[in-house]
Amino acid sequence: MFWIILIIGIVGYLIFWAIKDSNEDIKSHVTNHGGMQKKYRMLIEYLMEHPSTRITNLSKDNITIASSSTVYSIDYIAGGNLEISLKAFLPLVGNISKRWKYPSSYSQELIIQEIDNFLAWNLEKMQDIANKMNDDIIN
């Protein structure tokens, strides 16, 4: 019985310190910079360009931005990383998803450029499928 209590105590102690370190990391890298909305303002404004897009979740280390066919999640990961995930539905292409991971100090302009490139590639793929379907109908 003593060993079980000792093991539970050690595990509890380790969990406590891991959570405490994570919270301190978030505080120093996000909260002290005005929070997620302020620190990643340029990126958020870019992702919210479409009129139907809304922030659906906001916490100290996450922002979720969604529209009827697209969901972006921006997460600050303890240790100094930023993770952005995309889940979307494109007609003719279907469901697409992508995950990007950057150091939290990475240029938001470059992140936007990489997201733009990915979306342009998928839209081009959708256009190619539409052109092929059109050619099949004509022939």
Q: How far apart are CA 24 and CA 21, in angstroms?
A: 5
Q: How far apart are CA 48 and CA 55, in angstroms?
A: 8
Domain count along the chain: 1
pLDDT of residue 20: 66
Amino acid (1-letter code) at residue 61:
D
Q: State phi, psi for 26 to the nearest 5 degrees.
A: -65, -40
pLDDT of residue 17: 65
pLDDT of residue 6: 74
pLDDT of residue 112: 96
- Asked if residues 83 and 77 have their Cβ atoms less than 8 Å apart, the reply is yes
pLDDT of residue 22: 66
pLDDT of residue 18: 66
Q: What is the pTM of this model?
A: 0.72
Mean pLDDT, consecutive 10-residue segments, the chain of 139 residues? Answer: 79 71 66 76 91 89 91 86 90 86 91 94 85 74
pLDDT of residue 28: 62
pLDDT of residue 63: 93
Per the structure, the complete domain to which residue 59 belongs is given by 2-138
* Backbone dihedral region for residue 72 (phi beyond 0: left; psi -120 to 50: alpha; all else: beta): beta
